[in-house]
A = this chain, B = another copy of it.
Amino acid sequence: MMNRGFQMTAAAAIPRIAFQGERGAFSEEAAVRLLSENIEAVPRPSFEALFSAVADGAADYALAPIENTLAGSVYRSYDLLLESHLHIVGEVIHPIALHLIGTPDATLDRLETVESHPVALAQCEHLFRAHPQLLRVASLDTAGSVRAVIAANDPSRAAIAAKRASEIYGGRILLEHIEDHRENYTRFLLLASQPLLPESSSRANKLSLVIELPHQPGALHRALGIFARREINLLKIESRPIPGRPWQYCFYLDLQAALHNSDTAAALEELRLWAAEVRLLGSYPAHEISTSNFK
């Protein structure tokens, strides 16, 4: 269990966490990593449904993928975060370990087809090169393909998905860790209707904001200088086209900074006086990466 120190609603015994995908998705694995098994999973079919789940009253939190080490930033999440009124209250970094999952009596020898989302299939090129007899079948969802294979009870079919999908649907893991690249991590943001309370945010050492700058040479350099001068470390910068103005960009910044620190406050004030737009997305505890996290 890895409780990141944010405040749960006192009344709610079991927090309801919305995620995109079916039961057993990588997002659900990440929610368990962040919050323990003691959660209620609220699967949502689309990103739009995920980001509206909290406002709809269907969930207390939404867990949204924001960045993957192989696929890059999840721009749809950035855009929907901007459109929503949600606040970042936590983050978790989760390894995307892909497994080959069949029916309980399946064996690798008898396997004929392997189904999954095309992105997952494409990340297992080594498997298909080693077993050229296996036919790839595209599906809409990784965990959903495990559900379909188990429901059909067909030992010639297998799916590529998270370990959790195998546990939930009662499958058998035929091969573990079939992903081509082991450095496949996704960073998820935990989103809530209210920002972290100051009294519970003493561990909030990370700050995310989005800024829009005057369209002039050197603008980004000037903006970063506001933080560099105060020795506030920039953890990540992401440029994103501004809707309606193709090839003009806004910038998402992740800073190693506590919101209530006086240097941080002064930097934000200086930025606000000059930038076209500054919006705080959240102040939250950074997921500290250590080998022990990746069991």
A residues whose Cβ falls under 8 Å from a Cβ of B: 46, 48, 69-76, 117-119, 121-122, 125, 136, 138-140, 183, 185, 217-218, 220-222, 224-225, 227-229, 231-241, 243-244, 246-247, 249, 289
Given A46-B125, A76-B70, are A249 and B236 neighbors across the interface (CB < 8 Å)?
yes
Report yes or no: B217 in contact with A221, Cβ–Cβ below 8 A: no
For the complex, what is the distance from the CA of A236 to the CA of B125, rounded to whole Å?
Answer: 31
Report yes or no: B249 in contact with A232, Cβ–Cβ below 8 A: no
* Chain copies in the assembled complex: 2
Residues of B within 8 A of A234 (CB): 217, 220-221
For the complex, what is the distance from the CA of A72 to the CA of B68, rounded to whole Å?
Answer: 12
Report yes or no: B239 in contact with A217, Cβ–Cβ below 8 A: no
Residues of B within 8 A of A246 (CB): 69, 183, 185, 289
What are 12 residue pairs bridging A and B, where the CB atoms are less than 8 Å apart in the complex?
Answer: A71-B75, A118-B118, A118-B140, A217-B232, A217-B233, A221-B224, A221-B234, A222-B228, A225-B225, A236-B239, A237-B237, A237-B239
Report yes or no: A221 in contact with B221, Cβ–Cβ below 8 A: yes
Residues of B within 8 A of A118 (CB): 117-119, 138-140
Given A76-B70, A236-B239, are A218 and B231 neighbors across the interface (CB < 8 Å)?
yes
Q: A72 is contacted by which of B74, B117, B121, B217 (Cβ under 8 Å)?
A: B74
Give the 9 A-B CB pairs with smallest separation, nearest first: A218-B228, A72-B75, A221-B228, A138-B138, A221-B224, A217-B233, A138-B140, A138-B139, A72-B73
CB of A113 to closest CB in B, whole Å = 13
CB of A214 to closest CB in B, whole Å = 13
